[in-house]
Structure 1
Amino acid sequence: MRGLFISFEGIDGSGKSTQARLLAEALRDVGHDVVLTREPGGSAGAEEIRALVLEGDPDRWSAETELLLFTAARRDHLERLINPALAEGKIVITDRFADSSRMYQGTRSGDKRAQVDALHDLMIGCEPDVTFLIDMDPDLGHARAKGRGGTEERFEDFGAELQHKMRAGFLQLAQDHPDRFRVIDGTRDIDTVAADVLATALADIKARA
């Protein structure tokens, strides 16, 4: 029986990475076989591409070049980790997937959603079963993201304006695909958000049993 594919999406600093990890831990605690991964990354080749796209000057790559790099990383991730795990009946939880490309590369520099979707259909061809959108005020999220430090701040360096655009885009995606998206209020404390996510995920798992 095919496993369940879950993605987490949201603006930078929304807490989605923390919630992805907490959900993986909680589902393991109740007996599920869970693979936790991330994008870009999740496979050796994709992790190498991660350093290329998340580090350095904001103008290092055009949106078009970024799209090709992210798609290459996603294809490797899909072939080497996601699809094999799903074929074994595991639950795969990924911190970001194609919806992030639809937002970041699709809207960062003009309207390139058609290009993103065309390349996705050609090279990826699948969507998560469930997508948790951790919704957060863009100014708060951007401040959180910049406060983390580290070297992977290329997208945060585009500024809060991009985060406002991303949030609006994510919410529109959720409205367009209500069968897949679960919008979660990320402004609450971590444990409350985690409990909400877990209850929703368990209901989805039960519905697909």
Structure 2
Amino acid sequence: MNQRLFIVFEGIDSSGKTTQAELLKNSLIANQQQAVISPEPSNGIIGNLIRQALKKRIIFSKEQDLFDQQMAYLFAADRHDHLYNDVDGVFKLIKDNYHVISTRYYFSSLAYNCDTVEQFNFIQKLNDRFPNPDLTIYLDIPIEVSLARLQERSLQEIYETKAKLTKVKEQYQQIFTAYQGKAIAIDGTQDQQQIHQTIVAQVQAITKA
């Protein structure tokens, strides 16, 4: 397994991205591979600003369209830093012989920050120079499952409503239907270990190709 990969997990809220990312990282390390989880929003300055906005501790605009547009700009700026910074950027880590696993990438911006074709085209243009991951894993769960899992949290974020998640799920389906890169969709309601084994098999297939 000489090839170092940039792997992205996508899905609506509480689809299991963090859990599966951690399982994959541990599996790679157990097989004598260096691996790290590097999420979006990132842990950098812009990423922390985004996290505060998602928790409603910062209000950029009370008008939803303007808020989504502002968030789209911030996510794109954070994504550039996430990929290219010289300290812990994705490509710096890959150069240092790490597999990099991200929970969310530009697919999330396309799914969460637009409701119209015009908005979609705007966000797509903001992100069209970012490279595709080596593998994208879309964890698909019903809206009802997402909402039930979210109820267990003490604090919900601004996009965690039934109406918003329904729209996001529709957007994801359109995105991955048209996507030309390497991606797989997995039923996120399956047993965690079953999902994990499917993912490991996909990663091994890429590294052995």
Pairwise same-fold verdict (TM > 0.5): yes
Give the Cα–Cα distance (whole angstroms) in 2 for the partners of residues 2 and 188 of structure 1.
Answer: 29
- Give the 4+ runs in structure 1 shifted more than 6 A: none
1:34 shift after superposition: 0.8
Alignment of 1:97-108 (within 5 A): 97-107=105-115
- Find the counterpart in structure 2 of residue 175 from structure 1: 177
Point out where structure 2 has 5 or more consecutive residues left out of the alignment.
62-66
Kindly provide the CA deviation profile for residues 86-141 of structure 1, in whole angstroms up to 9, marking residues without a partner as x: 2233211000000000110133x6741111111113xx521211100000001211
Matched residue of 2:110: which SS? Answer: helix
Alignment of 1:1-209 (within 5 A): 3-42=4-43, 44-56=44-56, 60-61=60-61, 62-80=67-85, 81-107=89-115, 111-121=118-128, 124-150=129-155, 153-156=157-160, 159-177=161-179, 179-207=181-209
- What amino acid does structure 1 have at the position aligned with 2:105? F
- What amino acid does structure 2 have at the position aligned with 1:93? I
Give the Cα–Cα distance (whole angstroms) in 1 for the partners of residues 95 and 7 of structure 2.
Answer: 14
Residue identity over aligned pairs, in percent, reads: 28
| TM-score of the two chains, using structure 1 as the length reference | 0.86
- What amino acid does structure 1 have at the position aligned with 2:158? R
| TM-score of the two chains, using structure 2 as the length reference | 0.86
Give the Cα–Cα distance (whole angstroms) in 2 for the partners of residues 188 and 2 of structure 1.
Answer: 29
What is the RMSD computed on CA atoms of the aligned residues?
A: 2.2
Point out where structure 1 has 5 or more consecutive residues left out of the alignment.
none
Which one is further off, 11-20 or 169-178? 169-178
The 3 A distance-change label for structure 1 pair 14 and 111 is farther
Give the Cα–Cα distance (whole angstroms) in 2 for the partners of residues 184 and 111 of structure 1.
Answer: 30
Give the Cα–Cα distance (whole angstroms) in 2 for the partners of residues 48 and 16 of structure 1.
Answer: 19
Asked if the contact 1:3–1:88 (Cα under 8 Å) also holds between the matched residues in 2, the reply is no
Q: How many residues align?
A: 200
Structure with more helix by fraction: 1
Kindly provide the CA deviation profile for residues 39-66 of structure 1, in whole angstroms up to 9, marking residues without a partner as x: 1014x32442233332117975411111
The 3 A distance-change label for structure 1 pair 46 and 26 is farther
Give the Cα–Cα distance (whole angstroms) in 1 for the partners of residues 57 and 166 of structure 2.
Answer: 21
